[in-house]
């Protein structure tokens, strides 16, 4: 039986770190792609919906990190240019 179909309380997606969300997403993909999947249609749909939420969360976290890096890189360039003058 797939590990993701266990009926344990799921942590809200918004509270997951990027790494936690990605690990869970990989488990869901493995569960849904497995040839010997024992998931019912209802479980498969629940997993798919959770996976969609995890993808959106991971994308948002990556976008936020990218914006922070761009901001910090921009500040570094500005500081360097001010020192050069």
Kindly state the percentage of the chain with pLDDT values over 70.
79
CATH 1.10.287 assigned to 14-84: yes
pLDDT in tens, 38-83: 889 999 999 999 999 999 999 999 999 999 998 888 877 666 666 6
pLDDT in tens, 15-35: 999 999 999 999 999 999 987
pLDDT of residue 6: 46
Q: Where are the domains of the chain?
A: 14-84
Sign of CA dihedral 51, 52, 57, 63: positive
Does position 1 have pLDDT exceeding 60, yes or no? Answer: no
């Amino acid at each position: 039986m797939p590990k993701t179909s266990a009926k344990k309380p799921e942590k809200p997606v918004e509270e997951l770190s990027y790494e936690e969300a990605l690990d869970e997403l990989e488990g869901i993909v493995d569960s849904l792609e497995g040839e010997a999947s024992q998931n019912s249609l209802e479980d498969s749909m629940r997993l798919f919906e959770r996976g969609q939420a995890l993808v959106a969360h991971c994308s948002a976290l990556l976008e936020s990190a990218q914006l922070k890096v761009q901001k910090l890189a921009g500040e570094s360039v500005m500081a360097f240019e001010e020192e050069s003058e």
